[in-house]
A and B are shown apart, each in its own frame.
Chain A
């Protein structure tokens, strides 16, 4: 499949897919200079995920926690790096939202990737995020 995804085409494809019709997940486009697809994973405690399609890549991410929730940043970073190696299709990283450091779990695909790969990325990333949150709770307030 050589179709290059845009947020709109991906939104439609996901909604029409078997995954989208289960009712376990909902999608919404958040308009902006670069539109973002908001994904809510109902089976995972309504975990919000964000999907962006820019240039050659599809970028999926979920917010793990705020840096302010972490007891010891060094110990937490160490734990994150160790966890990172065992999660397929996902990476843990730091970004800033509203001037605050936020830990995210994210993954990237080629924007030419077929739909089942995008769906797999969303599902695996969602589960990894919840699992990471559960593994890391001892490090958090």
Chain B
């Protein structure tokens, strides 16, 4: 794309970050120039179109006049032949032949003009679309520049020279810390609950088979074994 090419040409040969600054400074200038160019192309296309349409109308009208005259002359020839005036009829026929040739030439001219009108209308639409697109790019460049200025202002007010802009990494770290903290909280709460209800001791007693009910199955089996024997 042309603008990118211009920016690249501008940046070529400069260090990346200096290059970026040049892009920022010049992007608006370049876009502004592109819009002006597209706009003057649009204006001249519109002027051309108006002129061409006027010419087409004049040529069309003239050709219609010729057509009317042709019809008229054809009637004369018929009348003259009816009257037997061969000489005058021939003279008029000469005019008819010339008119027919002119009308055929006009048709070709008009077709060419119509094609050019269509072409110009196309380039006007194209120029308009280009301008709209460039204006959207200007909006984007301006938005980016505004955000940059705001970020620079914020980083200079909230920090000394060493503190940097708050990034997603800082937030990610904070989220992880919060999650770790929440995890620790849940674990601590579980431990507290376990201690509060003697859950831990109960479990150990159950494991040791001391707790009533824990060995109920064995007791039942033992009972069967007693009755069997």
Contacts and interface: CB of A to CB of B under 8 A. Distances in A.
B152 A52 contact: no
A56 B143 CA distance: 11
B151 A45 contact: no
Interface residues of B, number: 38
B171 A133 contact: yes
Contacts of B156: 98
A62 interface: yes
A130 B168 contact: yes
Given A95-B144, A96-B21, A50 B151 contact: yes
Given A55-B142, A63-B151, A96-B17, A133 B135 contact: no
B204 interface: no
Name A's interface SS: strand
Contact of A97 (B140, B165, B169, B178): B165
A18 interface: no
Interface string B157-186: 000000011111111111100100000000
Given A96-B21, A99-B21, A133-B172, A36 B139 contact: no
A12 to B, nearest CB: 19
Name B's interface SS: helix
Contacts of A9: none
A41 B149 CA distance: 21
B214 interface: no
Interface string A37-55: 0100100111110101011
B194 to A, nearest CB: 31
Contact of A55 (B139, B151, B154, B170): B139
Interface size of A as a range: 35 or more
Interface string A18-48: 0000000000001011101010010011111
B20 A94 contact: yes
Given A46-B171, A55-B138, A133-B171, A102 B165 contact: yes
B67 interface: no
Interface stretch (A64-72, A79-87, A115-123): A64-72
Given A57-B140, A57-B143, A63-B167, A101 B17 contact: yes
A124 interface: no
B155 interface: yes
Contact of A59 (B16, B147, B174): B147
B146 interface: yes
Interface of B: 16-17, 20-21, 24, 135-136, 138-140, 142-156, 164-175, 178
9 interchain residue pairs of minimum CB distance: A45-B171, A45-B174, A59-B143, A34-B146, A55-B139, A36-B150, A133-B168, A47-B171, A45-B175
Interface of A: 30, 32-34, 36, 38, 41, 44-48, 50, 52, 54-57, 59, 61-66, 69, 94-102, 105, 108, 129-130, 132-134, 137, 140
Given A45-B172, A54-B146, A65-B167, 13 more contacts: A36-B150, A45-B175, A46-B174, A52-B146, A63-B151, A64-B167, A66-B165, A94-B20, A97-B165, A98-B165, A129-B168, A133-B169, A140-B169
